[in-house]
């Protein structure tokens, strides 16, 4: 008799939790808020470059080869 009473007391909270209630029957509508971050793409300033070809340069110790390189103008 005690086992039946004890078992029913343990099962009672599970039985109550399994019954449908008004809150579980209510319709839930979730509308996510989407934030659009507007990305502003600015045009890069145009950098004009001129190619200076390789050449020999006179130094105090003789001549030295200077490789080609770009110079901003």
How do residues 13-54 score in pLDDT, each as one tens digit?
A: 777 766 666 666 678 888 888 887 888 888 888 789 999 999
Structural domain total, the chain: 1
- Domain boundaries, position 43: 2-72
Distance CA 20, CA 3 (A): 28
The tens digit of pLDDT for each residue in 57-73 reads 999 999 999 999 999 88
Question: Considering the entire predicted model, what is its pTM?
Answer: 0.36
* 35 backbone dihedrals φ, ψ, rounded to 5°: -100, 125
**3-state DSSP call for residue 61?**
coil
């Amino acid at each position: 008799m005690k086992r039946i009473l004890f078992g029913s007391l343990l099962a009672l909270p599970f039985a109550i939790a399994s019954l449908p209630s008004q809150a579980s029957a209510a319709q839930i509508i979730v509308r996510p808020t989407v934030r659009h971050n507007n990305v502003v793409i600015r045009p890069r300033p145009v950098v004009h470059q001129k190619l200076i070809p390789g050449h020999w340069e006179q130094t105090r110790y003789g001549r030295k080869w200077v490789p080609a390189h770009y110079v901003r103008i």
